[in-house]
Structure 1
């Protein structure tokens, strides 16, 4: 469970944001503590605002007197209203706000239901509620609540990703939704191939496809973004990268991948170690593998062809913002290895110490010990990457490409050359 805490002096803004969701039917009020309730048992924006404002001392040194927090369970978690209410109560009590007035809203405007809490940072005696190490204390509290209620660990989910909903083609603003997802992903995650990028985007019901076209005799590469269903099937018209905005086209993504190859090197041994430790528990099914990897803070995306053969496997650390294909971890972690394992779980190659090393190898040693690794650049098994991209290319060319962006860049380069020539003269 991710807790996102903010401070503000705008009480009306914090309450207004949540009450507008209630008016639209996208949120509901779960709980209110120490606040006025009308004769019909309802809470209105005007009454809650007046009630809270009256409790803020007139002469107060604390400027940002409003506490606003969102608690975000794991996207796969479906919790009852009673459970969410109890979690909110215990969270506020443990953080030091148990005796403060607060109101709890349940938001259901996106697939992942979550709650927002609005309270006050000062008490009736003008004393500020202790906020020292608030972030660290909050993390300890949410971890304890996860254990108490048997929740799926969500520490792997970034705060920004937690607030980004899936693309919903049932809504009119599809292009804006796609732009929001793509900008969030490109800002937070590191990836070295389009396959790894697609593994990340799949959580948001989105995929990216490279297209090639010819314009006035010149060949161009471009990208289109395609809304998908939960199974990855294309369900809407592809959107040209140049129609979304700057920084999401072919050149930008290629530059991101180039930088990522250098940045992920130090993280590969840690991810490899977690995968190896998980596989040595001999999970019998893909579902078990997912559950055990989540305990390690990793998410796995497995892709199969029509015959059910695993052709790609990607491990994602949402907290670190990194996606790594199995082949990038080493030859012993490719899709073929996992396909063979799940075809016959009784034969577990990951238990072979001669191939994968001792199960008691320490983490700092694993940085230099790279089992089943070639002398090529770490984890960069080019053949496996090419096979994965070829087999996984389920989208057909749409003709809707990013040639406009490339043509514009080409025009700028020509203008730059002309200016240089004039200066030389």
Structure 2
């Protein structure tokens, strides 16, 4: 069982996050200690908020007065509500919150049921509850609870118990901590070669990344900011500079991750290409049908459109392998304009053309040989497609030239010049 503890000063946001899930039927209240219950035997957001606020002194030296914790049993555990209540009681008692007012929510919005506990970090006299070595003590407590209740030990299941990273939710407070948790997980687990591909991964967690250029004492610096979004991808909070989060999430770290990813993804490209090709040869009629069939293949697809409805970008994501690939990175025949043409006229399926994509009976072992025509020029042909997608989704690094064709041509020439220089040196 893994415990995740956070501290915040946003009482309304912390309670609101959990009660919204109750309203949606994605959570339920299991226990409320030292809190008011109405005549119907229910706990409401307004009443719990007023109750907790009344128990705090108006002048309190502690800023982050709210305690928010999630207790996550292993996904294979099937615990009753009574067992979860008992675990919550003993955990809070051992951690020093036994006499504090707190409320326990059971979340069932994902396949792994878990509980959230909201309490106060200060007592009725305004004194802070002892939080020294809190996380270390928490681990000792959860280990003891695992032994007592016969739970699967977190240290003996594939090395660790995987917990699903939640989406960034500004109502929960601690926005910076939420953003830091998501971006560090993504940079550790996923491989990507552009900011556009990174953004498609972050989109799942209601987060976006943007490049910023600043100047300090006459010297130019490149940086990144992370922006919380809603489910539609619209910004809902102020950007957070990577430097405010800490080491390992800034411009240099992300660039290094991209460079390492370019080598790591090479053996995976042919596998992703094969799965996409086999799916497209089933002639999905709509984008929704394509998404459903790719999910059966273990892939997510992220499609970007402009205001007129034209597809300008498509990215395929394998969450298990931790890889995101723009369509153009799979080959010329998988760029966004190919899919736009297909969905504009599904009756004509270019993926059935054996001269371009090979025989439909191609094996997975042979998938690396499935290439569009003129494979020797594929890298240069894909350059324009990749530039179009990158510029459209905001991940293209500015070259100071507004003409993308000219920029692509200059980039191609620079590559050729480097090759020629190497040959001359030899």
Aligned residue for 1:254? 255
Aligned residue for 2:190? 189
The alpha-carbon distance between structure 1 residues 355 and 28, as it changes in their structure 2 partners (threshold 3 A), is same
The 1-side partners of 2:395 and 2:193 are apart by: 20
Aligned residue for 2:422? none
Query: Could you list the per-position Cα deviations for residues 227-283 of structure 1 after superposition, in whole angstroms to 9, with x for gaps in the alignment?
Result: 111121222111111111111111000000000000000000000000000001111
Aligned residue for 1:145? none
Aligned residue for 2:343? 342
Corresponding residue to 2:112 among 100, 109, 114? 114
2:195 touches 2:395 (CA, 8 Å); kept in 1? no
TM-score, length basis structure 1: 0.60
Equivalences for residues 26-425 of structure 1 within 5 A: 28=28, 68-70=73-75, 103=83, 112=110, 114-116=112-114, 160=162, 163-372=164-373, 374-375=375-376, 381-393=382-394
The 2-side partners of 1:363 and 1:291 are apart by: 21
The alpha-carbon distance between structure 1 residues 173 and 109, as it changes in their structure 2 partners (threshold 3 A), is farther
Give how far 1:326 is off: 0.3
The 2-side partners of 1:355 and 1:121 are apart by: 60
The 1-side partners of 2:374 and 2:234 are apart by: 34
1:298 touches 1:315 (CA, 8 Å); kept in 2? yes
Give how far 1:358 is off: 0.5
1:205 touches 1:232 (CA, 8 Å); kept in 2? yes
1:190 touches 1:322 (CA, 8 Å); kept in 2? yes
Secondary structure of the structure 2 residue equivalent to 1:303: strand
The alpha-carbon distance between structure 1 residues 104 and 301, as it changes in their structure 2 partners (threshold 3 A), is farther
Give how far 1:103 is off: 4.3
Aligned residue for 1:152? none
Give how far 1:216 is off: 2.2
| Higher RCO (CA-CA < 8 Å; seq separation 6+) | 1
1:228 touches 1:236 (CA, 8 Å); kept in 2? yes
The alpha-carbon distance between structure 1 residues 233 and 29, as it changes in their structure 2 partners (threshold 3 A), is closer
2:165 touches 2:182 (CA, 8 Å); kept in 1? yes
2:107 touches 2:113 (CA, 8 Å); kept in 1? no
The 1-side partners of 2:81 and 2:208 are apart by: 44
TM-score, length basis structure 2: 0.60
2:106 touches 2:114 (CA, 8 Å); kept in 1? no
Unmatched segments (≥5 aa) in structure 2? 5-14, 22-26, 31-71, 86-103, 116-141, 399-426
Secondary structure of the structure 1 residue equivalent to 2:210: strand
Give how far 1:375 is off: 3.1
Give how far 1:217 is off: 2.1
The 2-side partners of 1:166 and 1:323 are apart by: 18
Give how far 1:101 is off: 12
The 2-side partners of 1:69 and 1:175 are apart by: 27
Give how far 1:192 is off: 0.5
Unmatched segments (≥5 aa) in structure 1? 1-5, 15-20, 31-66, 72-87, 93-99, 136-157, 398-425
Cα RMSD, aligned residues only: 4.3
Query: Could you list the per-position Cα deviations for residues 207-233 of structure 1 after superposition, in whole angstroms to 9, with x for gaps in the alignment?
Result: 111112222222221111111111212
Give how far 1:367 is off: 2.0
Give how far 1:104 is off: 6.6
2:167 touches 2:206 (CA, 8 Å); kept in 1? yes
